[in-house]
Amino acid sequence: MNQTQAVTALAALAHPQRLHMFRRLIAIGPNGLPASEIASAVKAGATAASFHLKELNRAGLIRGTRDGRFVRYAVNIEGMRRLLSYLVEDCCQGQPELCGAMFKKAQTLCSE
């Protein structure tokens, strides 16, 4: 991941509803949810939810797949892994293991 990609991903997360959607999809896991269920969970209208989901998708943090008439969104594990790795790659003068539990938790999340 380069700086431009990281800024795009962080900008996508810099909105309360998008952050809520992303965290909801992380909690659900790789099977994801239909867009309508995500909208309901974050109390967003269909149009707003669609806009926010497209922003997260464009940033590479989630992925959408067609499921009949619906679009099902799930967290993009590789996209999340790249962002987290980019954020901590220079941690503690190149020794990210010194960041302790926070880094270990991020590694665990990203290796699943």
Q: What is the CATH classification number for the domain harbouring 103?
A: 1.10.10.10
**Structure confidence at residue 86 as a pLDDT band (50, 70, 90):** confident
Q: Is the pLDDT of residue 96 over 80?
A: no
Is 80 exceeded by the pLDDT of residue 112? Answer: no
- Overall domain count for the chain: 1
| Alpha carbon of residue 58 to chain centroid | 11
Query: What is the extent of the structural domain holding 61?
Result: 3-111
- The token pair at 91 is 């941690």
Residue 106's pLDDT band (boundaries 50, 70, 90)? low
Q: What's the pTM value of the predicted model, to 2 decimals?
A: 0.83
pLDDT in tens, 50-68: 999 999 999 999 999 998 8
**What pLDDT does 103 receive?**
59
